[in-house]
Structure formats: C-alpha cells, structure tokens
Structure 1
Amino acid sequence: MKPTQRATGQRMEKSHPSREDPLCRNAELGYSPSSDLDRLVRCVSHGTPSPLIRWHYHDDYEIHLVVSTCGKMFVGDYIGTFEPGNLVITGPRLPHNWISTNAPAGGVALRDHCIVFDRGPLDRASESISELKDVLPLLDRSARGIEFFDMSALAGDYFGRIRASQGISRFSVFLEFLCVLGEWKDYRLLSNPWTDAAEDASSMAQIDAIIGFMNDRYAEDLSMPRVARHFGMSKSHFSRLFHRRTGNTFTDFLIQLRVSRACQLLAHARDPIAAICQDVGFNNVANFNRRFLAVKGMTPSAFRKAFADPR
C-alpha cells in the first residue's frame, strides 16, 4: 500500500501526546449515549477530519477498527501503514494516532469505529468470577499495542452488535469479543514498552524495582551482574527471574529500553543522532544504528524522518 495523496489537514503533532479527558467523550464527538450500565463499554465512530484524530493517550483501553481510507498509523514508537480492516487494541497511556493520507478533499463521513473501556471492573470481577481471568493476558499484551490480521469482517460484526446493544447485553457481547481477540493467533505486538514497564505491583514487586532501576540508569554502563549484585541476587537467580517475568533476557530488554527512549528523543528533540546515541547508553553510532535497525526495522534517521513527516 502506497498512499499517494497528502493528509487532509490531520498531521502528526510535533510535541508530546495530549491526554484525553474521559469527561469529554460526549455525543457531539460521536460517542454513543451511555447509561450507567454502558459506562464500562463506550462506542464511538467518526470520519476524517475529526477532533478525535490527534497524537494522544488516555487511561482506558481502545479497540480501533478502520473502515475507510489509508494512511499512517502511530502506536507508541511504532510507525506503519493502515488500510480498511486495520484492527488494533491499545492499552492505557500508550500514545496513538491514525492519519489518513488518501481521503478526498472534503473528507469522509465514516473512517473508523472505536470501543473504549476500563479494565478496573474486569480485574475486580475476575477475583470472584474466575472465567474472566481468561481475557486478562490479552489486556496485558495490549500495553504495547496489538494489530490483528484477517478478522476485519468478524470484528465489524462484533462492533455492530456492541453498538446496537445496551446494558448487560452490550457487556455480554463485549466479553465474547474480548475472548475471540484473546484466542486469535494472527497478530503482532507493535511498540516497545512506552512507560515504566512494571506489571501488577502485588505480584511483581521485585521486577518492578529492577525495571525502575534500569529506567533510571539505562544510559549508564549497565550489566546483568551489576544489577543482580545491587539487588542482592545471584546471577543465575536474577537471570531466571528476569526472563520469567519479562519474557526477555536482561541484554535484550536493555537494548529495547534504550531504543524506545531513543525513539522518543528522535521524535521530540532536535539533537544530533550521535548525541542521542550517547544519551541512551550506546557506546558508538555504528552499534546504535545496528541495534536500532534490528529492533525497529529502520535506521534512526529514517525513523526521525518518518515520524516528522507522516505523508
């Protein structure tokens, strides 16, 4: 897919993402009216241009289905293209935006559908209803953004059923949709961890402290033995704990963390790439370029250009 026309007034903000206030989600912006029972699952549909199309984040989860136009998709530090059928779920505080590049001059009345929901009630209910725990791994993964493939027709059916229902019926269809998404095999994670990659504090206290330490000192000469020693662990115990809790080796996680921080600097700062390389802890530009390319599939300079000019 190669979009050939300029975006119709919807361009990437050259600043940090804005935070969306849930209180502003009203019918004037395309959100469906809500009752007390529908506040967990809100629906919105909009075209382009729209005030909802901007580089932003919020505390809720969002399932986003594109139904018309093509363009560029930004999720965390991921940059890619989208077309009709694009289906993505984003987690809390993960910045995102979709910018149409082939919309006609007058825009389109309907570009995408969104379902916005809060995880808190699901977590609390899962303590009493064990079956609800089946959808929690999906929500954990969505902290990085998830793109699903070959399910646009099925997703469109669920979106229609959810929007057409209310109360308990809406919640029932919504849970069914989450279960389908959780079992879908054809997907990919989009972004590196965007915020402090800590998980549930009650069960992840150790790894939370370790990752916090790494977030504070990622630019230093960190090594697994040094961090293990700092937390009073043997190297073998630290290695097993870290891999079990994060799914990564210490070295791979540190590289991803440094690349993620580099992405933020490349997007929002004008510092030379050589300076950013040093700022995030790489010892030379050649190593930085090689590691960045392996993680992001493009060079740092290509990432900066793509992020600055979403055409």
Structure 2
Amino acid sequence: MKANFEVITADNGESWTFFQRNAQTALPFNWHYHPEYELSLVLNASGSRYIGDHIGACDGGDLVLTGPNLPHTWAVQAVAADRLIAVRVIWFTHEWIERLCATCPEFQPLLRWLADAGRGLKFSDAALERIRPLIAHMDDATPMTRLILMLQVLDVLKSDQPVQLSSAAFSGAPDRHGESRITRVTHYLTTHYREPIDLRQLATLANLTVNSLCRAFRQHTRASISEYVARLRIGRACAELIDSTKPIATIAHDTGYRNLSHFNRQFRASKGMSPGEFRTSFHRPDAG
C-alpha cells in the first residue's frame, strides 16, 4: 500500500502550523507522509500507531515525533464513550529549525536532537504530561505567544529520552554517529546489503583490521555488522510488504535472504510477527 503525500500549509503570519481536532470517536487509517516534522499528541485513544515499519499499541495518551517523509498514521478508537479522542498536531520544517539556529546559537542542540526523528520518536509519559498544558494554551493564543509555547515544547522534548520506533533502513536515515571510516562502511552496506558480506572487504574500506572494524562499528552504531545488515534487509522487506503485492518468498530473495525460513525467523524476531501478519496489518479493510 502506497502512502499518500500530504500538503501542509501554515497560516498567514506564522512560520509553523498548529492543528487540533476534538470529540472524535475514532481516527481512521490514513497512511501518509510529508516533508515536515510532525509532533502528534493523541489523547483518550486505544488502538495502534504505525510509524514507518513500526506497529505499536496506543492506549490512553501518545506523544510521537515523526521526521520528514516518514510514513505514519494512527488507527484508534476512543477509550470510552465519555472520553472522546483529542488530537493536537504541530508541523514544522527543517529549514525553520535551521533558521532559528542561524539566528540564535542556543537552538543548535535541536539539530542534533532532531537527527533521530527520521525513525520516529515516542516520548515518555512524563514528557507528555509536561507538554499537555503548553499545547492546551496554543489554541486561543496570539501568534507570538503560540511561538513562545512552541519553543517551550521543544525545550521539554529535547531533555527527554524517547524511544526510536522505525528501522533506520525504512526511513533512509543515515548513520549520524559514526566517524568517517565507519560512515564509509554504513554507506557501503546501505547499497550492498543484499549481497553476502565480506568482513575483510569492509575492513579494507575502513582501513582497519577486521577485529578493529567490528569493535569500532559496534561502538558507533550500537550493533554488530550482521545485526546492522539484518536491520537493513528487514527494513527494506517491510517497505516491500507495505508498498507491493510481491510474494513473500520473492521479497525475501530480493532483500538478500537465500533461505525463506531464515527470513521468517529474523523478521519475527525483529517485528514480533510473521511477514504475512505484518502485511495484513497494513492492508486493513478500512485502509482502502
């Protein structure tokens, strides 16, 4: 299933966008993406969130930041008839953040923090409770006051320790933590992950011994080379399962697996479900 492109526009006189929706009994499945960052606060909801290749439960409140062009949606119902769903959404562009940083160096940490948003970030319940009153005041605030509230929201979020949701491979997020020699290796793997991996070839590319490469790679990516390649393969397989009708065996082969059983085991270990179950969850009757 292809994600829909969504156009976001800001009101005249404002450099970012705030939107709210109240008294919803349900949110339909609307798989979409856009070039803006999106901070979504969903309250009184029970169901599932879909962020890239992540599928997770949403029960009560959810505060999630998605990066540019990362497909996402929620499919939820009100937790109770007397507690209807409330949605608050903030959209802003990378260029907006860059302009802030160029004018005020105090905002520079935001750029480093937003680097991980390409995979989707779920914030803690504590952060959600601190954010709620700030966002609640945005609706009837003047544009200047709303901007001040927005900056306070960002300040709260950057001090939290959110959970990354989607795989790096799905969103195309590059490795931003590695030094140049490890970055050369990750870039190579991004292109050649379908092929058998030769550690000696990778070590030569990084100008390291095999043992030094393995240590440095884990230090900078927090994964072994085999784990990293598996993430790339599974991430690409997820995209194919969502966007195409190819047989699962074909997808397994095209993403570097020569053994379908091995693919099924790795997929279940990564996603907690079989490839078929994953595909079915994205082709719900109400998903179109």
Specify which of 245, 263, 267 is matched with residue 270 of structure 1.
245
Using the TM superposition, give the Cα deviation of residue 240 of structure 1 relative to its aligned residue in structure 2, in angstroms.
5.5
1:13-24 mapped onto 2 (5 Å cutoff) = 15-23=1-9
Using the TM superposition, give the Cα deviation of residue 164 of structure 1 relative to its aligned residue in structure 2, in angstroms.
3.5
Change (3 A) 1:121 1:309: closer
Using the TM superposition, give the Cα deviation of residue 241 of structure 1 relative to its aligned residue in structure 2, in angstroms.
5.4
Change (3 A) 1:19 1:242: farther
Q: How big is the alpha-carbon RMSD for the aligned residues of Structure 1 and Structure 2?
A: 3.3
Partner SS for 2:68: coil
Partner of 1:131: 106
Partner SS for 1:115: strand
The residue type paired with residue 154 of structure 1 is: R
Partner SS for 1:165: coil
Q: Is 1:161 matched with 2:137?
A: yes
Partner of 1:64: 40
Partner of 2:233: 258
Partner of 2:256: 281
Larger fraction in strand: 2
Partner of 1:46: 21
Q: Distance in 2 between matches of 1:260 and 1:98?
A: 20
Q: Give the number of aligned pairs.
A: 282
Q: Is the 8 A contact 2:3 2:31 kept in 1?
A: yes
Superposed CA offset, 1:133-173 (max 9, x none): 23334312211111123234322212113333344432322
Change (3 A) 1:260 1:130: same
Change (3 A) 1:247 1:165: farther
Structure 2-normalised TM-score? 0.82
Q: Distance in 2 between matches of 1:154 and 1:71?
A: 23
Superposed CA offset, 1:47-77 (max 9, x none): 5599996211111111101123322211000
Partner of 2:64: 88
Specify which of 111, 114, 122 is matched with residue 97 of structure 2.
122
Change (3 A) 1:163 1:102: closer
Change (3 A) 1:80 1:35: same
Gaps of 5+ in 2: none
The residue type paired with residue 68 of structure 2 is: P
Q: Distance in 2 between matches of 1:178 and 1:153?
A: 14
Q: Distance in 2 between matches of 1:146 and 1:277?
A: 28
The residue type paired with residue 171 of structure 1 is: L
Identity %: 27
Q: Distance in 2 between matches of 1:118 and 1:230?
A: 35
Using the TM superposition, give the Cα deviation of residue 181 of structure 1 relative to its aligned residue in structure 2, in angstroms.
1.4
Structure 1-normalised TM-score? 0.77
Q: Distance in 1 between matches of 2:102 and 2:78?
A: 47
Q: Distance in 2 between matches of 1:265 and 1:177?
A: 36
The residue type paired with residue 251 of structure 2 is: I
Superposed CA offset, 1:9-49 (max 9, x none): xxxxxx211222234x6xxxxxxxx343x21x310113559
Change (3 A) 1:306 1:69: same
Superposed CA offset, 1:209-266 (max 9, x none): 5444323222111233323434655445644654454343322211111011111122
Specify which of 269, 274, 279 is matched with residue 294 of structure 1.
269
Q: Is the 8 A contact 1:137 1:182 kept in 2?
A: no
Q: Is 1:192 matched with 2:188?
A: no
Partner SS for 2:171: coil
